Amino acid sequence: MNVFALDPAYIGGFGLDEALILIVKVIAAFAMLMVAVMLMIWFERKLIGDMQNRIGPALAGPWGILQTLADGVKLFFKEDLIPAQSDRFVFKLAPYLSLVPAVIVFAVVPVGGNFTTGDGTVSWWGNATYLQVADPHIGILLVLAMSSMAVYGVMLAGWSSGSKYPLLGSVRASAQMVSYEAALGLSLAAVLLSAGSLSTHDIVAGQGGYDWNLWVTGIVPFAVFFIAATAELNRPPFDMVEAEQELVGGFHTEYSSIRFALFFLAEFMNVITMSAIIVTLFLGGPDGPILTEGAAWLWGTVWFLLKLMVFLFIFVWLRATLPRMRYDQLMDMGWKVLIPLSLGWLLFLGALSIGRDRGWPDAAVIAVSVAALAAGGLLLRAAVRAGQAERQATEAAAAGQPAQGGVRP
C-alpha cells in the first residue's frame, strides 16, 4: 500500500530508479529552500531599505547579495549561551521543533510542470513523475498539521527561556496561532469544495487553464486565507509575538548563536512556503501560458516563481507599510470577523454547488443564502454589541471602585 504518494513514478513499485528520483527531489527541494531563504532575507532588507530611503546591505558581494551568508557565518562562531534559569532540554529542543515543520511543508508544493495543456507530469529517465517531493493523499492537511506543529517551537522556546519577556511572547504566539488556524482551515475548506480533493497536485490540476480558485471561489476565501496566513507567520502587522518595543525580542530573546539562526531560518522558510501554498491553492500553482512548446514544463516553474515573488514582495511591503496591531484588535479580527466571514462564505458556496446539482435556479439560491447569511450576520453583530456593552458597563463599575479595592489589606 502506497500511503505516502499518488505520484505516478511509484505506481509500478519502488525500485532503484524511484529511489534515485526521490533522493534527487529531496536534495533539490532542500537546496532550493535554503538558497531561497538566503535570497529572501537579502531581498527583504534591501527592499525595506529602498522603501525607507536607505541603501540597505551593500558591501558583501554585488548589491550586498551575500550579506545573509556573512551573517550566517558570523552567527555560527558566536558564543552559544544557555540561561541559568532555563530548562536546558526544552531550550535546546525548541529551535528544531520550529525548523522541521517549515522544511516539511515545502514537500507538498508542486513547483513546476505543464498544467495548462498537460497533466503536470514530467519525464525523468523515462519515469513520469510530478515536480514535487511528495503528493500524499492528505495533501493540504499536512500543511495544516505542520503549521499547528510550528506553534510548539515558539511556545516552548519562550517558556524554557525562564524569563519574563519570552514567556509573554510565547503566550501571545500560542493564542494567536491557534485562533487564526481556525480561519485558515475554514477558508481552505472553500478551496477543497471546489477542488474535490486534498492532494495538492489535484488542486493545481483542477485550476488548469486559468480556472484559478482566486475567482472560482470568489475573492473572499483568498483574502481570509492571506490575512490568516500573515498572522500564522507572525509577520507584521501581526508580529505581537516579537514586538520589539514591548517584549525585547519576544520568544527568542534569550537565544543566541546558531540556535537563534535556526529560528530566523524557520521564520523566513515559513514565509516562503506559505507564499508557495497560497500560489498553489488560489493562483493555479505553475499554471500559465506556455510560450515555447519545446520546454513546456520549464514554463510552469517560471510562472510559479513569478507568482511566488509577487507574494514575497507583498509580505515585505506590508511590513514596511503597516503599523503593528494591538493584541485585542488582533483577536477581535480573528474571532469576530474572519472566522464568521469564512464560515458564511463556505456555506454560501456549498448552497450554490448543491443548487447547481439539483438544477435550482442560481438567482433563487443566491437570494435565499444571502438572506439567511444576513440574518446570521445581524445576530452575530447583536451578540458582539451586547458583549461590548456589558464589558464597558463592568469596566465603568470597576473604574469607580479602585479606592475601595486599595484600602483592602
Partner 1 sequence: MEIAVFAVCAVIVIGGALGVIVARHPVYAALSLVATLFGVAVLFLTLDAPFLAAVQVIVYAGAIVVLFLFVIMLLGVDRAENLRTEPLGGQRPLAVGLGVATLVLALLFAIAVGTGGFGDGSVATGAPAAVAPERDSCTGLSKALEDSSPLVAACDGTEPISNIRQVARWVFTDYVWAFQLTGLLLTVAVVGAVVLARGRRGADGDDEAAGPAPDTAPEAV
Strand-pair category, 127-130 with 121-124: antiparallel
Our CB check for partner 1 shows the closer of 156 and 283 to be 156
- State which residue, 56 or 158, has the beta carbon closest to partner 1: 158
List, as one string, the DSSP characters of 74-110: HHHTS-----TTS-HHHHHHHHHHHHHHHHHHGGG--
Minimum distance between the CB of residue 107 and partner 1, rounded to whole angstroms? 14
* Candidate residues 54, 74, 78, 391; the one interacting with partner 1 per rule CB under 8 A: 391
CA distance 373 to 383: 15
Helix (H) or strand (E) holding 127: strand 127-130
Report 38-97 residues binding partner 1 (CB under 8 A): 87, 90
Quick one: CA dihedral 249, 252, 256, 260, positive or negative?
Answer: negative
The site for partner 1, by CB under 8 A, has a size of 40
Specify the residue for cell string 479606592: 403
Interface residues for partner 1 in 131-160 (CB under 8 A)? 136-138, 141-142, 144-145, 148-149, 151-152, 155-156, 158-159
Query: For partner 1, which is the closer residue by CB, 145 or 322?
Result: 145
> Closer CB to partner 1, residue 171 or residue 318?
171
Closest CB to partner 1 among residues 273, 301: 273
The C-alpha atoms of residue 320 and residue 330 are separated, in whole angstroms, by 19
Whole-angstrom distance, CA of residue 99 vs CA of residue 121: 30
- How far apart CA 277 and CA 307 sit, in angstroms, is 11
Choice from 13, 62, 289, 402 touching partner 1 (CB under 8 A) = 402
Query: Of 71, 42, 98, 37, which is closest to residue 233 (Cα–Cα)?
Result: 98
Cell match 550579506: residue?
Answer: 67
**Shortest CB 77 distance to partner 1, Å:** 31
Site string for partner 1, 348-387 (x = CB under 8 A): ----------------------------------------
Site for partner 1, residues 188 to 207, rule: CB under 8 A: 198
If residue 297 lies in a helix (H) or strand (E), which one and from where to where? Answer: helix 296-321
Choice between 65 and 93, CB closer to partner 1 = 93
> Cell numbers at residue 161, please?
527561556
**Partner residues linked to 129 by β-bridges:** 122
Residue 394 within binding range of partner 1, rule CB under 8 A: yes
Grid cell digits, residue 51: 522603501
Choose between 114 and 199: whose C-beta lies nearer to partner 1.
Answer: 199
Interacting residues toward partner 1 by CB under 8 A: 1, 3, 6, 87, 90, 136-138, 141-142, 144-145, 148-149, 151-152, 155-156, 158-159, 167, 170-171, 174-175, 178, 181, 185, 198, 391, 394-395, 397-398, 401-402, 404-406, 408
